[in-house]
Chains A and B, each alone.
Chain A
Amino acid sequence: QVQLQESGPGPVKPSQTLSLTCTVSGGSISSAAYYWSWIRQHPGKGLEWIGYIYYTGSTYSNPSLKSRVTISLDTSKNQFSLKLRSVTAADTAVYYCARVPYGDNWFDPWGQGTLVTVSS
């Protein structure tokens, strides 16, 4: 059974780059059967799709974040990563990684999530 786990360095200062990694176990990120996605949830609020990456390296991002987002794969470690540049307090959120079946449109499973706080 595939499991996803987010990790990151902790608090981020405004204007810096937020960097997170999602480690996948029980399945390969090199599979053609899935997209690998990032989603965030502002404290006490709803969910926002950030973007995803396919095993080919193709990426798709939410237009509202696209200019600041980079998603990449590390197949040697079975991980994928998120970089969000020029962060502000509005980027404070719980960040989740999740899997999307290719040709389908739902997120399953999800990682447990990691809270990233942007503060000086």
Chain B
Amino acid sequence: DIQMTQSPSSLSASVGDRVTITCQASQDISNYLNWYQQKPGKAPKLLIYDASNLETGVPSRFSGSGSGTEFTFTIISLQPEDIATYFCQQYDNFPRTPGYTFGQGTKVEIK
């Protein structure tokens, strides 16, 4: 199984700050990496797909990058409505069976 290591587990930042979250895969997953935002009591919402593509309607202050085993999610300028937990999610198809695993999440709070 491919394991995802997401860090940090939580962070506190000020409005307007740049926030960066990383996910590391235990094996090469190409660009099969997606990012979700989950607000308390709500379902996760897709923000970034295939490592760097912004989902339609998602503000441009969110971005993603990386490939292979190292991936980064960035909020360029943190806004109060960005308070949430963020998850990465990978896809693999080895050995010929689909598998999806999520990172443990990063809780983002306002300082």
Contact = CB atoms under 8 A, between A and B. Distances in A.
A107 to B, nearest CB: 7
Contacts of A98: 43
A108 B46 CA distance: 6
A112 B105 CA distance: 19
Contact of A60 (B36, B43, B97): B97
Give the size category of A's interface with B: 20 to 34
A62 B55 CA distance: 26
B46 A107 contact: yes
Contacts of B104: 45-46
A109 to B, nearest CB: 8
Nearest to A110: B43
Contacts of A46: 87, 102-105
A47 B44 contact: yes
Given A60-B97, A105-B100, A108-B55, A47 B87 contact: yes
B44 A60 contact: no
B87 A112 contact: no
Interface in B62-111: 87, 89, 91, 97-105
B42 A112 contact: yes
Nearest to A35: B98
Contact of A105 (B34, B36, B42, B102): B34
B18 interface: no
Nearest to A4: B43
Interface of A: 45-49, 52, 60, 62-63, 96, 98, 104-113
12 contacts: A46-B105, A47-B102, A49-B102, A96-B44, A98-B43, A106-B34, A106-B49, A107-B89, A108-B45, A108-B46, A108-B49, A108-B55
Given A46-B87, A107-B89, 15 more contacts: A47-B87, A47-B89, A48-B102, A49-B102, A96-B44, A104-B49, A106-B34, A106-B46, A106-B49, A106-B91, A107-B46, A108-B45, A108-B46, A110-B44, A113-B43
